[in-house]
Amino acid sequence: MEELIKCENCQTTVVIVEDNLFYSDEKSEVQLSCPVCNDKLETRSTDGWFFVQTEIEFKKEKEIESKKERLPYPMM
């Protein structure tokens, strides 16, 4: 699950991915801040954690992943 938020301070589009591997009832407050200017974006409660990066980084990573998928695995 990914979500796009625009930083009001530097106008960077930030991608927020929520990761909750553990199913617990205990939620904690997480302060999300912009990876570029460190400005506070918002506070959220989660039982996992948030992965915050810029849209550019996010797209780059997706590209690398899709390239990896196209490469055949070397025979061992």
List of residues contacting Zn ion (CB under 5 A): 7, 9-10, 12, 34, 36-37, 39
Write down the least CB distance from residue 14 to Zn ion, Å.
Answer: 7
Residue among 13 and 20 whose Cβ is closer to Zn ion: 13
Sign of CA dihedral 1, 48, 63, 10: positive
Residue among 47 and 53 whose Cβ is closer to Zn ion: 53
Write down the least CB distance from residue 52 to Zn ion, Å.
Answer: 11
Residue type, 48: G
How far is CA 32 from each of CA 35, 48, 74, rounded to the nearest angstrom? 9, 13, 40
